[in-house]
Every structure is written in C-alpha cells, then in structure tokens.
Amino acid sequence: MRSTKTIHVISAHAEGEVGDVIVGGVQPPPGDTLWEQRSFIARDETLRNFVLNEPRGGVFRHVNLLVPPKHPEADAAFIIMEPEDTPPMSGSNSICVSTVLLDGGIIPMQEPETHLVLEAPGGLVRVRAECNNGKAERIYVQNVASFADKLGVPLEVPGLGTITVDTAYGGDSFVVVDAKALGFEIVEDEAKDIARLGVAITDAANDQLGFSHPTNAEWDHISFCAFCGPLSKTETGLTGRSAVAIQPGKVDRSPTGTAVSARMALMAAKGQMQVGQTFDAVSIIGSRFTGRILDGSDVGGRRGILPEISGRAWITGIHQHMLDPGDPWPDGYRLSDTWGA
C-alpha cells in the first residue's frame, strides 16, 4: 500500500453519536491558544475535509483531534470537527474523547474513579470517569458555563409561519423550539422531517435573531435547533425527550450534551430547575444523558449556570485513514443527497 499521509483514529460513539478521535499522524496546528488552533483548522479546512468528507467521512461523523494542552491544569486537549462547524465544546465528543483516552491507555486509568481535566477550545472541562475492570463505564463532564439568551421571541420560518422560540448557549449555541407544538413526538421515523425543519429554523434564527457570546466575539451564530418535548417530574428533577438538528441536515443520535446544558440554563432562567436538580434527557433513539446544575455562574455579566452532563461511550474500532497519491479526490467530496444544498 502507498500513502502520502496516514492518520491514526480510534473510533467511538457516545449514546449513539459518533465521535472519532485522532490519536496520531497529525501535527498540532499553529496557534498560541487552543482557540487559535481551532480557528486555523476551521479556516484551513484541509484536515476537516480529509476526515469528514466522503469517502472517509460522512454527514454522520464527528472527529476530534488530540493536541497537547495549552492550559497548565489540563491533562489533554481536543479540537472538535463537526460537519459544518468547529465548535467551542461538545458534550458527546468530550465523552468519546475521555473514553478513548482511558480505554485506549493514553491516560492511566484509576479504579473506581479517574479524574481528568480536558481543555476544549471553549475552556476547561473537568471529567470524572467511573471505571471498572479496565473500562470507563460512565463519564461525568463539568461543562463550560451556560446561559439563556432570548426567551419567548417570535421567529418567522418560511413555509411554517411564525413560531415562538428561545435561544441559549451550552458550550454551543441553540435555537430551542417546542416539539409538541410543531407536531413532533421525537421518535425515530420523524428524524428526516426534524432534520429538514431544524435547518430551516436555524437559518431563520441566524437571519432574524442572531447570537453573540458575551466573552467570545468570534462565536457569533446559532449552530443548532433543539426540538424539546414535554417535561415530566422525577424524584431528583425533570425528564424529557429532545432531538437536535445539526447542519447540514441530520439529527443527533445522542441527547446532545451542549443542548442538555443549554436547556437546563433555559429551565433555570424560567424557574423550572434549581441548583442540585437533575435533568434526564432522552434522545430520538432512546439513549440518555443526565444533566445536573452544579451552581450558578456569571458569563460576561449574564446570569447562567455551571452544568454537569454524564453519559456512556464505547470504542467501535481502530482505523488508519490513508491517501493514495493517485486518488483523484484527495479532499473528498460532498453530494446534496446526504449533505444538503
């Protein structure tokens, strides 16, 4: 076999959502901070295209690049590459990265618990992993500070009319809609319709509402649409179904850790959830993340929360992605049948 590059990947999924991890074959990108390194990858697109585009990738795939941490407290750092964005943080991807680091032997595992500090582009996240018999069985991630942005505002969506939405940040930016009011129960056979409508709602929200992170001016758009089902009470808090539409048009298979954090921030702002309570989030395939509000937080003068999310991940394979020098599509390709227009 001949190849001009070989990228070593440990593949994983967190409660159904793919989050592969590059463990070798890629030099750290230039930049004095992890955010600058993230921004280089987003602008340059060479690595993103190679691992996300077909034939190596697909609209369903997220890939994380392990890099040496910049922050002195961090044990490892990672840059997240999603189909359309290179985001500040991702819950499912942080759970995959933690699992790969521990199950793959990159960071020594301590049983019954291992404590890590990971550096994401959006800031430090503290991880507690429940470990047993050489397996990281459940990952608890103390996410970045999250906050509600706009509450109960009108949004005109082409072909749908005017709906009422919220916007929020949970490590990434969301427009949040009432799934039941739009006729969705959040079940598997609704995935295609949720994905298509979610992209339209996200586009409309960016055009009409916008978003600006109070301490990171470079994060100035809404990434996702979260369809949130009715809430029910539990012994420790609340539970509910949700589905997140990801650009260019797919539904997250997991409950989406940043969406859980954003939804808890909205519930706290509306007086529905308090510090110490939990939120059991159920995805479109029935998988679960558990969220908890650890404390209040201040985000550039905005009142927010410090959230924790937890879930499970499993390694699915080890891959070496290669590039034959005679391959006529070295950057891969995207077609509208799966990638959208």
Q: Any idea which residues carry the catalytic annotation?
A: 90
CA–CA distance, 205 with 223 (Å, rounded to integer): 10
Structure tokens that stand for 116 in this block: 């890590």
Core vs surface per residue 201-231: b (16+ CB within 10 A) or e? bbbbbbeebebebeebeebeebbbbbbbbeb
Tell me if 167 sits within 8 A of 200, measured CB to CB.
no
CB atoms inside a 10 Å sphere around CB 335 = 8
CA–CA distance, 287 with 303 (Å, rounded to integer): 30
183's CB contacts (< 8 A; 6+ apart) are none
Q: What is the dihedral of CA 216, 265, 183, 223, to 10 degrees?
A: 10
Structure tokens that stand for 178 in this block: 């009432």
Structure tokens that stand for 112 in this block: 């019954």
CB atoms inside a 10 Å sphere around CB 271 = 7
Helix, strand, coil percent content, the chain, rounded in steps of 5: 20, 40, 40
Give the position of tokens 């916008």: 210
Structure tokens that stand for 219 in this block: 């994060």
For the four alpha carbons of 150, 151, 152 and 158, in that order, the dihedral sign comes to positive
Structure tokens that stand for 56 in this block: 């190596």
How far does the chain reach from its first CA to its final CA, in angstroms? 35
